[in-house]
Structure 1
Amino acid sequence: MSASPPPPSRDPTAPRREDFARSADDVARQRTVLHHRTTRARHLPNPDDIARRRMLVRWAKWVLPAAALALLGSIAAWPAIDRLVNAQRNALHEMENLRIESGNMLGATYRGLDDHNRPYMITADQAQQVTPDRINLTGPVADTFTQGNDWLTIRSDQGVYMQHEQLLDLTRNVVLYRADGVIMTGVTADMDLKQGIVASDQWVHAEGPFGVLDAQGFILSQHEGIGLFRGPGRLILNDDSHAHPPAATPSSAAPPASSIPPARTEPTR
């Protein structure tokens, strides 16, 4: 009879059942430690903390949307703010180039808007403030916009600018330029910058793509796109088809010589 194999040897480092055996005192002590740790980790809020948290939540409900609206408003208003900043910068630049000598202002610039919110600008070599409303100008130049957003420039040797009425009276060597190529010269011209009207009751000479025009007065409405010239005047069109009447058609031409009856003569007495 053969001998039975020896039992397998155990690893001395492997855990054994007796290692997990705890006494009642150890269990009670461990439970007490766990209870104290749980009590310290969990802090129940008191009524003051709850009220403080409610106030913070209520405050956040109003402040956060208000901050979002303020941010959106600043984004929407930024273009206008940028235009104002640029306008102030341009004004400061013009003030740097401005010189005042003996009560006169050199390199003066005046800006404004007409009834249709189109900008206009008046520059002058020299400006003299006569009254709070009247300004005498030397070498004035006015730049405006027409109905089709085309530019119009008018200049002269002398001028008077009425600030409150937005009127500009030009005298001596008045020259008007338009974007469509029309050039008008005259002695005087009155300009209503607010309504966009230029008028004169003196002789005017105009040249442009249409031809040549001489008239005894004119009125131009930039907003209406209308130009009226007062006669007597002279108009020469560049297009010959408009300058001359149409040629006679064959049906209206003279009949052939064979069909013309002979002329009748009467004896003289």
Structure 2
Amino acid sequence: MMAAADHGGPVRPGPLRAADGAPRPRRGQRHGSGYSRFVRLMKVGLMGIAVLLVVLVAIWPQLQTVEEEFRVKFASLKGASVDQIEMINARYFGTDEKNRPYAVTAARAVELPEDRVQLDNPKADMTLEDGWVMLNGDTGIYDKTGKTLLLTGNVNVFQDEGNEFHTSTATIDVEAGDATGDEPVQGAGSFGWFTGEGFELTDKGKRFKVTGKSKLVLTGVEAQEGR
């Protein structure tokens, strides 16, 4: 015989079971452990941010002082504090009183006192009334105020007519288009060749004069006309 059900009190539902009979967790218990871990991580993260803010507030005045210190030091630098002002592939351009252009170029330029510039491999190009003249050397000193260029070491002078001469020093007035030198000079052109103890290039480069003890050998038209 089957026993009758006891209806003396409320019936409590038993745990839910899966198909295989194993009890299943209630809905509220599925993510309990993951949520607790998230809460703990958030607490740690917020505490770390709070500590970082406290540290920044504490050291901020020191950071501002250091920044201001650097700013003052850089602002107080003067020209005398810099050893050299150097320029690569330097270019200086100008025009003479007749608006004819000239240029002084160099592979390297170093600023010197009294508005002068030391040049490596300098070259001066000057446009004349009916041609041009170019001078170069190993080194040079360019006076930006007086517009003069002192060339030293393997100085070469080339004219558009095909004349050229070589010496060891030359002083050039780049605005006037004139040049002079008092060291031994030698050169050649369509007329022949010459040697001398110095030279003068005047009248905007039109006239060339060999100074001191000199020698001229005519091999071109002038020599034939003199026969």
TM-score, normalising length: structure 1: 0.50
Corresponding residue number in structure 2 for 1:118: 100
**2:14 equivalent in structure 1:** none
2:213 aligned counterpart, secondary structure: coil
1:80-229 maps to which residues of 2 (within 5 A)? 103-148=85-130, 150-223=131-204, 225-229=206-210
Structure 1 residue 126, shift from structure 2 partner? 0.4
Shift of 1:115: 2.5
User: 2:199 is paired with a residue of what secondary structure?
Assistant: strand
Cα distance between partner residues in 1 of 2:197 and 2:224 = 21
The question of whether the paired residues in 2 share the 8 Å contact of 1:136 and 1:159 is answered with yes
Q: Deviations over 1:156-189 (max 9, x none)?
A: 0000000010000000000111110011110000
Q: Which residue of the partner structure matches residue 261 of structure 1?
A: none
- Tell me the CA shift for residue 206 of structure 1: 0.9
| Cα displacement string for residues 108-128 of structure 1 (whole angstroms, at most 9, x for unaligned residues) | 000011222211011101000
Segments of 5+ residues of structure 2 without an aligned counterpart are 1-83
- 1:241 CA drift (Å): 7.0
Match for 1:120: what amino acid?
Answer: Y
The answer to whether the 8 A contact 1:146-1:222 is kept is no
Matched to 2:179, the amino acid is V
Give the percent of matched residue pairs that are identical in Structure 1 and Structure 2: 30
| Higher RCO (C-alpha 8 Å, min separation 6) | 2
Structure that is richer in strand per residue: 2
C-alpha RMSD of matched pairs (Å) = 2.1
How far is 1:139 from its partner?
0.5
* Cα distance change of structure 1 residues 172 and 224 upon mapping to structure 2, 3 Å threshold: closer
TM-score, structure 2 normalization = 0.59
Q: Which residue of 1 aligns with 2:78?
A: none
Asked if structure 2 preserves the Cα contact closer than 8 Å seen for 1:202 and 1:217, the reply is yes
Q: CA deviation at 1:240?
A: 7.8
- Cα deviation, 1:26-71, whole Å, max 9, x if unaligned, reads xxxxxxxxxxxxxxxxxxxxxxxxxxxxxxxxxxxxxxxxxxxxxx
Kindly tell me: are residues 222 and 143 of structure 1, through their superposed partners in 2, closer, same or farther at Cα, counting changes over 3 Å?
A: farther
Higher helix content, 1 or 2 = 1
Q: State the aligned residue count.
A: 145
Contact 1:186 1:205 (C-alpha < 8 Å) held by counterparts: yes
**Which is greater in Rg?**
1
Distance 2:203 2:224 in 1: 27
SS in 2 for 1:242: helix
Q: CA deviation at 1:194?
A: 1.8
Return the offset for 1:131.
1.9
Q: Secondary structure at the match of 1:122?
A: strand
**What is the letter of the counterpart of residue 102 of structure 2?**
Y
CA 1:112 to 1:238, structure 2 compared with 1: closer, same or farther past 3 Å? same
Q: How far is the alpha carbon of 1:244 from its aligned partner?
A: 9.5
Secondary structure in 2 aligned to 1:212? strand
CA distance in 2, matches of 1:142, 1:130: 19
